[in-house]
C-alpha cells in the first residue's frame, strides 16, 4: 500500500488542496487532511505546523502544504526538525526538490500557480526518488545540530 500523505492548507490554498486530494485519489495515494475545511480566513502557520509536526516526528513520511503562494507555509514547515519543505512552481523544481534535496513536504501556491500545473508538479514530486550520493551529504548538512541547554 502506498504511503499516506498528510496535507493542509489555509483559506487561500483550500481550493487547490481539494484538487490535490482528488489527484491523490486518482493516483491511489491515501491521504489525511488536517484542514482548513473552507475558504474562511485562517492563519497558514497553524496548518503548516500540523503537517510538519507529523512529518518531522515520522508519523507521516511526506506532506503537502498549500497557501496563496506556497512561501508562507514552506517557511513555517521548515521550522520543524527533519522537515525539508520546497515550493515547486514548475516541473523542474518539483523534480529537483526530490532528486537533489529529498524534499519531504511539497509547498504549493493556490493563488500563484495554475492548478493544472500544480497537479502535474504533484505527480512529478511523488514519482521522483531521491538520488542520494553526493546529494545525501548535502542534505545531511541542512539539519542544524541540537544545542545543549546552558
For 12-52, how does the pLDDT look when each residue is reduced to its tens digit (9 = 90+)? Answer: 999 999 999 999 999 999 999 999 999 999 999 999 999 99
Asked whether residue 86 carries a pLDDT value surpassing 60, the answer given is: yes
For residue 148, name the pLDDT band (cuts at 50, 70, 90). low
Asked whether residue 69 carries a pLDDT value surpassing 60, the answer given is: yes
**pLDDT at residue number 144:** 83
For residue 120, name the pLDDT band (cuts at 50, 70, 90). very high
Asked whether residue 105 carries a pLDDT value surpassing 70, the answer given is: yes
Angle at Cα 88 formed by Cα 116 and Cα 91, nearest 5°?
60
**pLDDT at residue number 110:** 98
Say what the pTM is.
0.95
**pLDDT at residue number 146:** 74
CATH of 5-140, one of 3.40.50.10540, 3.30.565.10, 3.40.1400.10, 3.30.70.1050: 3.40.1400.10
For residue 149, name the pLDDT band (cuts at 50, 70, 90). low
DSSP the chain: -PPPEEEEE-GGGHHHHHHHHHHHHHHT--EEE----SSS---HHHHHHHHHHHHHTTS-SEEEEEESSSHHHHHHHTTSTT--EEE--SHHHHHHHHHTT--SEEEEETTTS-HHHHHHHHHHHHHPPP--THHHHHHHTTSPPPPPP-
Selection from 85, 27, 26 nearest residue 51 by Cα: 85
For residue 145, name the pLDDT band (cuts at 50, 70, 90). confident
Which residues are catalytically annotated?
Answer: 67, 100
For residue 150, name the pLDDT band (cuts at 50, 70, 90). low
For residue 66, name the pLDDT band (cuts at 50, 70, 90). very high
Amino acid at each position: 500500500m502506498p504511503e499516506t500523505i498528510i496535507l493542509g492548507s489555509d483559506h487561500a490554498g483550500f481550493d487547490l488542496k481539494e484538487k490535490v486530494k482528488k489527484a491523490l485519489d486518482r493516483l491511489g495515494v491515501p491521504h489525511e487532511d488536517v484542514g482548513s475545511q473552507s475558504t474562511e480566513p485562517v492563519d497558514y502557520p497553524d496548518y503548516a505546523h500540523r503537517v510538519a509536526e507529523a512529518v518531522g516526528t515520522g508519523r507521516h513520511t511526506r506532506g503537502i502544504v498549500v497557501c496563496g503562494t506556497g512561501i508562507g507555509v514552506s517557511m513555517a514547515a521548515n521550522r520543524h526538525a527533519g522537515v525539508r519543505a520546497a515550493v515547486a512552481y514548475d516541473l523542474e523544481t518539483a523534480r529537483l526538490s526530490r532528486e537533489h534535496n529529498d524534499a519531504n513536504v511539497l509547498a504549493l501556491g493556490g493563488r500563484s500557480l495554475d492548478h493544472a500545473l500544480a497537479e502535474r508538479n504533484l505527480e512529478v514530486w511523488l514519482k521522483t526518488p531521491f538520488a542520494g550520493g553526493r546529494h545525501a551529504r548535502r542534505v545531511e548538512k541542512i539539519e542544524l545540530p541540537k544545542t545543549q541547554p546552558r
